[in-house]
Structure 1
Amino acid sequence: MGKRRKPSPPSRARMAVLTTAMAAGGAVLASGTAHAEPAPTLASVKEQVDKLNEEAEQSIERYNGFQAQQQKLQVDANQIQEKVVRGQEAMNELRTRLGAVAADQYRTNGIDASVQLMLDSDPSGYLERAAVQNQVAESQANLLKQAQDEQRKLDQDRAEATATLASLDAVGKQLAEQKNGIQTKLAQAQEMLNKLSAEDRARINAQQSAEKAKAEAKQAAAAGTAAAADRASRSADRPDMNAPLPAASGRAAAIIAFAQAQLGKPYGWSKTGPDSFDCSGLTSQAYRAGGRTISRMSQDQWNDGPHVDRANLQPGDLVFFYDDLHHVGLYIGDGKMIHAPRTGKNIEVLPISAMPYMGAVRPA
């Protein structure tokens, strides 16, 4: 029986071929089991950006509320601290007067009254002086009562100042939290947009323009104005700054004239002008220009006057949107408003049908 030959090891070339084949097979298997994360669609990016901007605007209105509260508390704290200073000065004066009375009493009352009468060379003069001393004692009692009352008021003012300063500190922390939240949401929205190509960003802008034009066309069609519908269908991203606004009179005319003068200025969160505005900053300053002071925050502006039915809207009315009333605009007639939209956009004219309409208010 012949000797069996030991099989020779595979050559390096053959090993390379086998390794390559195995790698290719593994890649095929991997491709069959692994799934790449689908790239976000343009529509989903736009939806997320819009949601972040809306959440930011909600936080901005809360920020405005905390800011107004902080300003009021600061005024209150300053006034109370001034009262404390005045009270302390009054107490110091009373203590000085009490000290003088006590020293005088010690000098004159060091000897028993009966002994003083026996030793006095002029008893009638002593009795007159005693009567004066009784008056001084009564005056001293009144002075002591005044000092006690002043001290009690001073203690109350100090306690009120301490509580007000504590509230001011708490509101300051809430203000900082809201500010951080706003900046985070706006940064997230901007980051998502930055990841898009210039072409995709242009598409989003075009979609927003188309949505605005569609809303305008719908508003015009509802009013039965074919010419207005045709103009709306050709609407660009920026409003026509020269378009005539519906006529208004009196205070409404001044309010609308102010808002019209702001068209094209950028939205600025928590800003009340003159270079940028947020939604409630624009409406509050417009009313100020018309001689009427209204609240700073949109939710508070909802309570600044009687509510008005949509069918009875008049130029100058405040119009509100979304369930929590976090957006407000200024009605100018013909179903349109001037409003400050959101970060990255400019003050514009927009149909009130373009957003979830909640109601209107007519401040007196």
Structure 2
Amino acid sequence: MTAIADFADRIRAASAAGTPLRLRGGGTKDWYGQALHGEVLDTRAYSGVISYEPTELVVTARCGTPLAEIEALLAQHHQMLAFEPPRFEGATIGGVVASALSGPRRASAGAVRDFVLGAVLMDGRGEVLRFGGQVMKNVAGYDVSRLLAGSLGTLGLILEVSLKVLPAPLREASLRFEMSEIDALTRLNEWAGQPLPISASSWHRGVLSLRLSGAQAAVQAAQRRLGGEALADTDAGAFWAALRDQMHGHFGGGAVWRMSLPSHASAIILHGEQLIEWGGAQRWLKVDDAADAHGIRRTVAASGGHATLFRGGDKRVGVFHPLAPAVAQIHQRLRQSFDPAGIFNPGRMYAD
């Protein structure tokens, strides 16, 4: 029996019996979201790169394909997944799309959803649905494909995905500056309006770090213009990799909140330690487990953003920012359409 036929049998039987299924690849993001429920449906048996056209900048792979395998293949052609997903050991490409976690380059290159060109989905009826295509020119159903990014498996089993890839930069250099949080946010917003090849930024404990990426002449010109302390390539590589893979010390211990804000928002005054990325648009707040979740969300919402309980803490407060009633209804209708029996990862995003 093929993997797809096996998936279909499991899903149809679960729908008929009302048995929840937990769609799972490498399990590297089991900590993300609300509580886990259901029998595990392991996707790793359906693995392999289906097609890769370096000249077309597109790769298509099955859901259980290890992220490491895809990145190694792209590296042979000096290409990359520009949204820099965290490289958790054992991560699969299906989980990369379903979780939609992006790394330091996201502010300059785009998010996971921006690179999804097409997808093949198995719904709650065990039927195979195709959206989008395998080339950048084919945008039919593009919005449906993008819906799967960040859905955490609640809409169905992502069987295959086609992703746009980009050439890796010819040159990269990193700079550091000592400055306050407010000064860092001011400078980042000033630089964002200028033709500078900034591909990543991070402020933490009074130090602003920048990564420059592009042609050698452009990177060198930006270095001369910005000044700062230049980092050795090996140190810079280790620093940005730790941020991308969430191995930076800021992610360990206590509860970590992910705050999404307008990049121009001023400093957010909250008890706890912050790490700021994406030109000020993403701010990681580390607090103790007993921190006032409602107070954090009120403060962030007042600045035009929303807050997610990313790691640790008491998930009873709700991991994801509460939805407006109209948006919640859209979520419910989408789930009803793709998963009428409600078997896929129930309660993973919202407890109800």
TM-score bracket, shorter-length normalisation? under 0.3
- Greater gyration radius: 1
TM score, norm. by length of structure 2: 0.24
Higher relative contact order (CA 8 A, sep 6+): 2
> Greater helix share, 1 or 2?
1
